[in-house]
Every structure is written in C-alpha cells, then in structure tokens.
Chains A and B, each alone.
Chain A
Amino acid sequence: MEKVLSALLLLITTGVFGQTQIKFDRFTLDNGLKVILHEDHTTPNVVISVLYHVGSKNEKPDRTGFAHFFEHLMFEGSENIARGEYDKYVSRAGGALNAYTSQDRTYYYEFLPSNYLELGLWLESERMKHASVDSKGIETQRAVVKEERKQRMDNQPYGTLMEQVFVRLFNNHPYKWMPIGSMEHLDAASDEDYKQFYKDFYLPDNAVLTIAGDIDRNAARQLVEKYFATIPKSTKPIYRPTIKEEPLNGPKRDTVYDRVQLPALIIGHRTPAQGSTDYYAMEMLNTLLSNGNSSRIYRSLVDEKQLAIQAGSFQFPLEDPGLGISYGIANMGVELTDIEKAIIEQIEKVQNEPISDMELKKLQNQIENQFVSQLSSVEGIAENLAVYETHFGDASLINTEINRYLSVTKEDIQRVANLYFNEKNRLVLFWLPKAK
C-alpha cells in the first residue's frame, strides 16, 4: 500500500515537472572539448561558460590555492588580449562576467547580448589557448588574493569555519585545504610553477563549454569549431587524486577561538560523494533537519528551546566523499554543551524512529520547488548543465536528477542517519570568543 502511494506521489510530481524539460545539444570536439548548447529566446542574451575540471583538490600539498589563483590570473589577458583589457571587451559589449573556484572545479562565464556570441567564444578560447601568465599579473593578484582572504575569512566572524572543519576531518585528502589556499604557498611559488599549472589543467579535454540563450545552434556550433578546434589537447594524463581517507576514529573534539560575540557549536561528519545513492538520502535528511521553519533542528533549537539564533545542517556537494556540518550559533547566555545535546537529540531521533509519511511528502515538495526554481535563469541553467556533465557525466540529469531524490525512502533516511551521523565519524568543534 505504502509503495503504491509513494509511486503515485512520484507520478504526480514528475508529471508537473515534465512540463519544464530543458532541451540541449551535446557534442565533443576532436581535442576532447565537450560542448553543450541550449536554446532559449526569452531575452536576446547569451551565456558562454567554461567549466575547467580543476579545483583545489588537484593541487600539490605545498602549492595550495593555485586553482583559485588562476581564477584571478585568467582575467589578466592572453597573447592577443592586453593586460586589463579582458573585462573591458565584455563591458564594452554590455556584458557581465565572473568566475568561481571550488574544491572540484573552476567556472568562468560571460553573459552577453546575443550578437556578441562570437566575442565570448574568442575570449574563452584565448584563455584556453594561451593565457598570459606573467610576473606583473602574478604580483598584483597575489596582493588582491590576500585581501580577498582577509575580507572573506580572517576579518569575518566565523569566516574560517569551513577551513577549520575540513582541516580536522581530512588528514590526507586534498579537501583538507580550502580553495583560497595558503598565502605562504602563493608567495613561495615561482612564475614557472604557475605556468606549469596552466599547462597541466587548462586544456580542452579537461573542460566543458556551455552556451545557453538566444542562439542559433548550427551557427553556434560552427563558431565553436572555429575558435576551439585547434587548441591542442593534453599530452599526459590529467592529475586526479585517488587518495582515500582512513576511518576517522572519532569522536574528535576541539576548540577554536575567534573574534565573535556569540559562541557556536559545530558538528562535522564525513559524508558520501555527490551523485551516490546515499548522497540523495543525506540531502533529504538535511532537508528534514534544517529546511524551513518547521524543520527539526530549527524548530527545536531556535524556536522551542531558544538555544540558538541560527541553527541548521547541510552537506557540501563534492566529487569525492566530503563532509557535512550541523551547527548552532548560541543565543546570549546559552552553553554550547546544551546546543550539542539538542542537536544530537535530533540526530538520534531520526536514527531511532522512521519519519512520517507526511514528513516525507513535505521533503519531496520542498525538493520539487527547489528544482523548478533553479531553472529560472539561463545563467543557472548553463551552470547546471556544465556541472552535471562534468561531475555526473551526464548533462541530462538537469531533467531527471529529481527522480533520484524522490526515490529516497523513509528507510533510506533512517539508514544514512545511522551510517554517517555516527559518533565514530564525528567532529565536535566549540567556537568561542577570543579574549580581547
């Protein structure tokens, strides 16, 4: 009976969702560059993006921060684009551009009026083919990145939280350092080191080019060939770490002192890799714990017990097994041990009792809403297509990944709660105000 019901729910949900299929073309050039084209004429604009399959995970332990550093360097110019001109081409065309770096990828994009499609392709192909990696650019960006680190992390309350958790949950895997990396490593690196990193990773067969928006697919395909087909592919295998962590043998406990007024309790657990069956069950579990005011951790800690002004639980979507964080920022005068107890209580409740049918339906509705919302802009669609193609090997998951969430059962949620939210797999971090 229950099976029939959930199958029925599934039908209803996918039925609605079916109306908003994202259509796209996909092909691979001879040099290995994967290309995805998505046509959408809502407005006369186009997104051109390149996702390089290189993140901080691909760095050497004594040269961290390189992938992110390149995110900065890649705006410095190329053989045919003078220093300081890269973004001017885009602004003169009335476009916008940006980039970001994570543990697993670096993503660059231009958002241009559609008559500038060729300009966008030229710009991206220039930096793939022969970006400028020179000392002037390196010197300036070293200073800029140091200020970025201060602005985002060191001068920000709780700004080093991710760093402090990752470094304690990983001993060998490169996830133990953050994409921003070590400022000492950036200082110590020679121009040659940077040049080599560029040669190793910024290659057509390590990238996905996505074009989404007001395009003619045939014309776009010809332009892609013109600008990208002659860029040489890799000459040796691209470095992808295969490092596996030993079991954590937790619980580990530690304390961090920071410039904060309100202490925070941070619980970290190792979690499964994105795309795995358990990953989806964990996503549903975190949704149960912290999505919306009726979610279990929020309701218990913030609303009922008033222990925290903010509390929640989430996992990082990472290519290799990663980690999740459950946390509470203390209300004034609250002891962190009480917050710890209250979070563990909620974890144990899921471990011991199956969630109700109503709750499962709620989680599915929430996920459905998120899925529809992420398709609301061509920028979002372009990024999702590139991410699915790179990390999941299939861009069409943009239309079907929701089924993986909807097939998670109550039993799955209870099972992963026991498997991953387990003491042996746990770090408890007390985040305390630094004495002034």
Chain B
Amino acid sequence: MQKHKFSILLLWIIFSFLKVNAQEEFRKTAPTAGPAPKIEIGNYTLSKLSNGLQIIVVENHKLPRVSFQLFVDVPLHLENDKAGVASIAGSLLSAGTKSKTKAQIDESVDFIGASLNTSGNGITASSLSKHTDVVLDLMSDILFNANFPKEEFDKLVKQTLSGLASQKDDPGAISSEISGRLRYGNKHPYGETTTEKSIQNITITDCIKYKDDFFKPGNSYLIVVGDITNEEAISKAEKFFGAWKKGSVKKQKFPDPLPPAGNQVFVYDKNDAVQTVLSLTYPLNLEPGATDITAVSVMNQIFGGGSSSRLFKNIREDKGYTYGAYSSVSPNEHIGYFTAGANVRNVVTDSALTEFLAEMKAIREVNVTSEELNAAKAELSGRFGRSLEQPATIASFALNIVRYKLPADYYNTYLQRLSAVDANAVKAMALKYIHPDKVYISAVGKGSEISAKLARFDTENKVRLVDNYGNQLIPKLKMETTSEVKMEPSAIIEKYLKAIGGKEILSSVKDVTIEMSATIQGMQLSMKNVQKDNLKLISSVSMNNMTLSEQIFDGIKGKITAMGQPEKLVEGEEASELMDEASIFPELFYQEKGVKLELAANEAVNGVDCYKVLITDAKGKVKSDFFAVDSGLKMRTTVIEKSGEQEVTLVREFGDYKPVSNILFPHKLIIKGAMPVPLDAIVKSINVNSQVSDDLFKIGK
C-alpha cells in the first residue's frame, strides 16, 4: 500500500517535471509568425464642383457617423507685426453669422451631440450620420455668413492674451517656440511668433480680410469620411457649397532658411525648472513625395523613431536620464526640419547632449545592422498597416496625392519602396540629413545649473540667452565673420584711446554728465551718470521723476538706495567697486593700476569684427571688452556678476559713436542679462567739464 502510494507520487513528480520541461522547451524561443497577411488600402473618390472646390470621399459604413473637413490650403505668407491673425480670424468664424449668435451656433452643435471647429485653415465637423444635413447647414452658414462680431473679437483677443501668458509656464511650449524661431529665423512665415504685442495689433478688418483673401473654392477641399455614399456627398456638397464664388489667391515665395554654420547653444533660463527641455534642430529640404522620403523614415526610425530606437535605448534605457528621447525628420512642401530632444534632469543636461551628438555622428559613420534595418522596416510597415483601420487615413492619402501631385498609386506602392531600402541607403540618408555640427541646440531649464556646462557645445564656446519668444535669438542671416588679425592687447587699448580722442584730451576731462532714456514694457526710464575727478560718482535710475535707485560715492564712502529697501552705506572694500566706476576713462589707468590684459580669439559683435581682450583687475575680477578691428572703438563689455547664488552674465553693447567736446561717446547702449528683455538706452545729453559741484556728491548724515 505504502509502496503503491509512493510510486503514484513519484509518477506524479516525474510527470509534472516532464510537463514543466516540455513547457520550458516551447517557451524558450519566440514563436514564428504565419504567412504575412495582405494589406489592402481602402478606396476614395475624387471629384470637383464647377467653382473649383475639390471633393474627396471615403465611404465607410461600419459606424453610423460621418465627418466633414472643409480644408482651405492657405498659401505661405507673412503676418508681420500682426502675427496670430490667422488663428483669431479662424476662431472668429464660428462666433456668429448673419442669422445666428455664437450661443445659437454652440447650442445647435451640442444639441445633436456633434463637434464643430473653425480655424485659419477652414471648418471641421463630425456627427452621427443621421444629423448630416444639420451639420452641413451650419458649416455653409459659417462659410457664407460669418459676421465677425466685435464683442466676440474682443473676447478672443483677451483669451489669446491669457493663453500666451499661461504658455510662459510651460517649458515644452517655450522650447517649441524657441526651436521654431531658430529653425526658420524671423524672415520666414514659419518663424513668426505670436506675441502680446502682435495680438494687440490685430483688428476685425484684418480678420475679414484674411478670410476674403484666402477662403476660395479653388484652393479648398471638402473631405468627407464615413457613413455616406459618394453620390450623396457630391450632391450635398453642391447644395451647401456650390454657391461659393471663385476667386484667385496670391502665392508668394520665401527664401529657404539655412542651418547654422556651426553648432549654437541657446538657453532659456527658467529658474524654477526641475528638468531641462533639450532640443536639437535645424531646417532641411525634404518635400512630400521626394525620392529620399522612405529611406529617411527608415533612418530616423533606427535613430530615434520609437522605443526600440538608439536614442531611447541609450538615453533612457541605458542611462536613465529621461522618460523618453526621440527624433523626427519632417518633410514639408516649403521647408522641412530635423528635431531631436528629451526632457532630462538638470545635472545630466550636458551628458545627455553629448549622447545626442554622439548618436548623430554614429548613425553617419557606422552602417546600421541588418537587425536594426529589418526591425525599422517592420515597424514602419506595421504602422502603415494599422493606420489603415481609420478611414480618415485614406482621406489624408488622397489629399496628399492631390495637393502634392503625387502619383495616384503612391501609397499603394509604399510597402514596395519600403522593402527596397537597404543599409547603404540608410547611411546615405544619414550623411545627407543628419548634421551633428550644424545644429541649433536649445535648453529650457535652470540656467544657473546648466549654462556653464553647455558653452563647450557652441562653436563660439558660449551660451546665448534668449527669452520665451526668441526675440533676440534671431539667427543672423549670414554668419558673423571674424578675422585672425592679431595685435598686442596693450596696443589695442592704445588704439581705442586714440580713436575716441587721444590721451591728452581724455586726461583733461574733469567731469562728465550723461543722461539717457530707455523704454521698458511701455514705461519710460531715465538714467543719469555723473563722474568727477575719476573719484566721485552718482548713478541713478528714475521713472516719472521718482527715483528707483541711486548710487553715490564721495571718494571715500558711498551710499546705495533702491526703492523699497533701506538705504545702505558702504565703506572700504565694497566702496572700492564704486570708486572703480567713478573712473571716467578707466583705460587710461590700466598700467598704473596693474591691470592684466590678455587677447582672446577674435569675435564679431553685431557683424563687426572685434578683438576680444580679457581684462583682469588687481582684485582678480575679469571682464571681456570687444574692440572693433577697423575703427578701434569699444563695441561690447561682458562681465559675470554674482547675484546671490546665481551667476548673471551682464552684457553692454555700445553704438552710435558721436563727438562731444572732441571726444567720441557712444550714444546708444544696450544692456542685456540684467532683465529678461534687453534694455535699449539712448543718450539724451552729454556734458563734459561743466564744473559739477562737489556738493552733489555729499552723503547726508
């Protein structure tokens, strides 16, 4: 009995062991796939009304719903100082017609559970198919009878302004704004940015004009998808849009934006950011339907197209720097672009950038493996196959074929083209489209933690601070050129002193009074600077005759007052900084004060070739001055100031040199770095040797 029991137990053990073993066997390798299914692309029908409106219909009766898109192919154009007009005009379309208020339109749409949206590119709507006529009636009423009510316009402007304000918190939005501006510059429509100011410039008349100029049947398409027959769709199109009058639309050409000549690093300092939004981008020429497109998409898929790509595997899965790292190469009929990026933690911003650039080099230099190639092609064909489930995909294929004049079988032959892409083609595409040495690099993050470490990635070894609209980060249309002319730094200083008047005249100056004005956010600032005997100083900033801040130095001690803060008396070490500023032409005293000079590589300042001189004073404080190679004049001063824990790079730029009492003084001053926006100051008056009284510098108490 015992034995019997035991053998049953043993058998059971052997049996379950075999079972486990057998299981292990088939589990050990991935199952093989059956024969590949055939991918079929659904049909579409294309027709045209007599007014030129083209109609694309994709029938699909699986669900009782239908969607309509009236797509207006607005030509490329500049909005200039009214950037944002397309968006305001587009939203305003559904804000009232001759017979319906906005509230009535909203009510009609919601009552049938439909959705309807208008934009600068037309009108889209969708609903259950039983409500087709109601939806089309609304669309046609909007197209023909939109009446742009003033009240709704004011509302939209206000909402847009609030929306712009809220964008300033969103690091992703800031980053894409900056990237766009860098890629296209401000001369190309794609580079235009909507700002508070440009929104305020827009009028209702501009909105009406926008619609009148661009909304014509000849450059528009009605795209119908869903539970409707082609015949029905055409007859309804005729009924609701047949009365749309023909008209011509002006087309303009714009020069293609170019990539930078070398890598440039831009930083938007968001000092409360806990992560850096890192973005690498540049424009490139790649039109829809171009021969390269399929091979480029395979190359990008391997490089950074998804979670199996090199960027993702390296930067997320291997390094753990980010939640996701991706890239894309986007074709466009006018100008396409490359972009790659990730949100990374502050401390690894530079390490992540190193990886991005290394991967860009690698994809150019090393052939992709056949495993990578096959996986990328499989992913792309799979994505293509899945996208066909949605009838809207077929409609978008049809639209592309018509808009970009592609062969009628362009999408039917896509999989053949894809399967023909080989490793050589991928490499050729990488060499043609991936340029690790011509990239606009932007980082939206905590400047104090990331800036210093990013400078080395810039060809000029610096970071370029920008604001959230990229106003002063407009890339120069032509690259600034610098020469390799060399000169002894002391001779550069001599040349400068000579250029502005000569040592003799300069030494005879006892006092100088300069008054300047500047505008900041619509407010007028006045600035006054008085220096006497290279020893005494008054420097004040006021607004509407109210003093905002003032520094006085009487030669021994100083006083600093700033609005809202207790006045502060300074002596000794701290006061010596004020004394330095009291120096009228400090260059006169470099030798006697033991100032060290060192020449750095030449740099251009606003297009002017300059010598860059590093100037270290006796206390070890360093500034960089830039002197024009030709004229000898000082063009810029850069100094790093500590403000609490943060380092701020203060930049002053000088221009518009004009003589006063036989001395050349700059009459234009731009201060950058002190505030989020650069401060442009204009000289109102300069007085030399006006016998300024010593009483002025008296410090009370």
A26 within 8 A of B: no
A369 touches B106 (CB 8 A): no
Q: Which residues of B contact A260 (CB under 8 A)?
A: 166, 169
Q: Which residues of B contact A19 (CB under 8 A)?
A: 64
Q: Which residues of A contact B389 (CB under 8 A)?
A: 42-43, 45, 377-378
Q: Which residues of A contact B273 (CB under 8 A)?
A: 155
Determine the distance from Cα of A146 to Cα of B381 in the docked complex, in whole angstroms.
34
A236 within 8 A of B: no
Q: Using A113-B36, A150-B274 as known contacts, say yes or no to A144 and B320 having CB atoms under 8 A apart.
A: yes
B23 to chain A, nearest CB (A): 6
Nearest-neighbor residue (CB-CB) of B20 within chain A:
A230
B317 touches A140 (CB 8 A): yes
B158 touches A147 (CB 8 A): no
Contact with B along A375-403 (1 / 0, CB 8 A): 11110000000000000000000000000
Determine the distance from Cα of A377 to Cα of B375 in the docked complex, in whole angstroms.
25
Q: Which residues of A contact B316 (CB under 8 A)?
A: 144
Q: Which residues of A contact B412 (CB under 8 A)?
A: none
B321 to chain A, nearest CB (A): 7
Q: How many residues of A contact B (CB 8 A)?
A: 87
Across the interface, B37 reaches (CB within 8 A) one of A20, A44, A121, A150, namely A44
B385 touches A113 (CB 8 A): yes
Nearest-neighbor residue (CB-CB) of B345 within chain A:
A147
Determine the distance from Cα of A371 to Cα of B584 in the docked complex, in whole angstroms.
78
B382 to chain A, nearest CB (A): 3
B643 to chain A, nearest CB (A): 13
B168 within 8 A of A: yes
Contact with A along B87-121 (1 / 0, CB 8 A): 00000000000000011001101111111000000
Determine the distance from Cα of A376 to Cα of B35 in the docked complex, in whole angstroms.
27
Across the interface, A43 reaches (CB within 8 A) one of B115, B158, B313, B386, namely B386
B110 touches A366 (CB 8 A): yes
Across the interface, B382 reaches (CB within 8 A) one of A96, A141, A299, namely A96
Interface members, chain B 329-384 (any A CB < 8 Å): 343-345, 371, 374-376, 378-383
A259 touches B169 (CB 8 A): yes
Secondary structure dominating the interface of A: helix
Interface members, chain B 118-174 (any A CB < 8 Å): 127-128, 130, 155, 158-159, 161-163, 165-166, 168-171
A94 touches B345 (CB 8 A): no
Q: Using A88-B308, A89-B30, A122-B30 as known contacts, say yes or no to A332 and B19 having CB atoms under 8 A apart.
A: no
Q: Which residues of A contact B161 (CB under 8 A)?
A: 332
Nearest-neighbor residue (CB-CB) of A95 within chain B:
B382
B113 touches A376 (CB 8 A): no
Q: Using A151-B275, A157-B166, A261-B165 as known contacts, say yes or no to A20 and B63 having CB atoms under 8 A apart.
A: yes
Q: Using A91-B308, A292-B106 as known contacts, say yes or no to A376 and B63 having CB atoms under 8 A apart.
A: yes
Q: Using A143-B320, A331-B162 as known contacts, say yes or no to A45 and B306 having CB atoms under 8 A apart.
A: no
Determine the distance from Cα of A294 to Cα of B103 in the docked complex, in whole angstroms.
7
B194 to chain A, nearest CB (A): 15
Q: Using A230-B19, A294-B109 as known contacts, say yes or no to A147 and B163 having CB atoms under 8 A apart.
A: no
Determine the distance from Cα of A111 to Cα of B389 in the docked complex, in whole angstroms.
12
B323 touches A293 (CB 8 A): no
| Size band of the interface chain B makes with A | 35 or more
A274 to chain B, nearest CB (A): 22
Determine the distance from Cα of A241 to Cα of B614 in the docked complex, in whole angstroms.
68
Which one of A49-57, A338-346, A357-365 is at the B interface? A357-365
A276 within 8 A of B: no
A113 touches B382 (CB 8 A): yes
Q: Which residues of A contact B34 (CB under 8 A)?
A: 115, 118
Nearest-neighbor residue (CB-CB) of A19 within chain B:
B64
Q: Which residues of A contact B323 (CB under 8 A)?
A: 144-145, 147-148, 151-152
Q: Using A329-B166, A332-B165 as known contacts, say yes or no to A306 and B155 having CB atoms under 8 A apart.
A: yes
Determine the distance from Cα of A293 to Cα of B388 in the docked complex, in whole angstroms.
32
Counting chain B CB atoms within 10 Å of each CB, the highest count among A115, A259, A366 belongs to: A259
Q: Which residues of A contact B38 (CB under 8 A)?
A: 44
Across the interface, B385 reaches (CB within 8 A) one of A43, A88, A309, A434, namely A43
B285 within 8 A of A: no
A22 to chain B, nearest CB (A): 11
Q: Using A119-B30, A230-B19 as known contacts, say yes or no to A157 and B169 having CB atoms under 8 A apart.
A: yes
A362 touches B111 (CB 8 A): yes
Determine the distance from Cα of A154 to Cα of B386 in the docked complex, in whole angstroms.
34
A220 within 8 A of B: no
A44 touches B39 (CB 8 A): yes
Determine the distance from Cα of A293 to Cα of B155 in the docked complex, in whole angstroms.
14
Nearest-neighbor residue (CB-CB) of A330 within chain B:
B162
A365 touches B382 (CB 8 A): no
Q: Using A94-B381, A157-B166, A372-B63 as known contacts, say yes or no to A150 and B128 having CB atoms under 8 A apart.
A: no
B508 to chain A, nearest CB (A): 48
A150 touches B65 (CB 8 A): no
B390 within 8 A of A: yes
Q: Which residues of A contact B107 (CB under 8 A)?
A: 294
Q: Which residues of B contact A116 (CB under 8 A)?
A: 33
Nearest-neighbor residue (CB-CB) of A92 within chain B:
B375
Interface members, chain A 314-355 (any B CB < 8 Å): 329-332
B378 touches A94 (CB 8 A): yes
A309 touches B343 (CB 8 A): no
A147 touches B321 (CB 8 A): yes
B379 to chain A, nearest CB (A): 5
A248 within 8 A of B: no
Q: Which residues of B contact A358 (CB under 8 A)?
A: 111
Across the interface, A293 reaches (CB within 8 A) one of B23, B109, B306, namely B109
Counting chain B CB atoms within 10 Å of each CB, the highest count among A93, A125, A291, A376 belongs to: A376
Nearest-neighbor residue (CB-CB) of B313 within chain A:
A84
A368 within 8 A of B: yes
B638 within 8 A of A: no
Contact with B along A396-425 (1 / 0, CB 8 A): 000000000000000000000000000000
Q: Using A89-B30, A91-B308, A377-B390 as known contacts, say yes or no to A230 and B23 having CB atoms under 8 A apart.
A: yes
A115 touches B37 (CB 8 A): yes
Q: Which residues of B contact A261 (CB under 8 A)?
A: 165-166, 168-169
B31 within 8 A of A: yes
Interface members, chain A 39-83 (any B CB < 8 Å): 42-45, 79-80
A311 to chain B, nearest CB (A): 12
B31 touches A119 (CB 8 A): yes
9 A-B contacts (beta carbon < 8 Å): A45-B386, A94-B380, A96-B379, A113-B33, A152-B323, A154-B274, A157-B170, A309-B163, A372-B65
Going nearest first, the 5 A-B pairs with the smallest beta carbon separation are A94-B382, A143-B320, A44-B37, A369-B113, A365-B113
Interface contacts beyond A148-B323, A151-B322, A436-B271: sample of 9 additional A-B pairs, CB < 8 Å, sorted by A: A43-B389, A118-B33, A147-B275, A155-B343, A261-B165, A303-B102, A332-B158, A376-B390, A378-B389
A contact residues vs B (CB 8 Å cutoff): 16, 19-20, 42-45, 79-80, 84, 87-89, 91-96, 111-116, 118-119, 121-122, 125-126, 129, 139-148, 150-152, 154-157, 214, 226, 230, 259-262, 291-295, 299, 302-303, 306, 309, 329-332, 358, 361-362, 365-370, 372-373, 375-378, 434, 436
B contact residues vs A (CB 8 Å cutoff): 19, 23, 26-31, 33-39, 62-65, 102-103, 106-107, 109-115, 127-128, 130, 155, 158-159, 161-163, 165-166, 168-171, 271-275, 306-308, 313, 316-318, 320-324, 343-345, 371, 374-376, 378-383, 385-386, 388-390
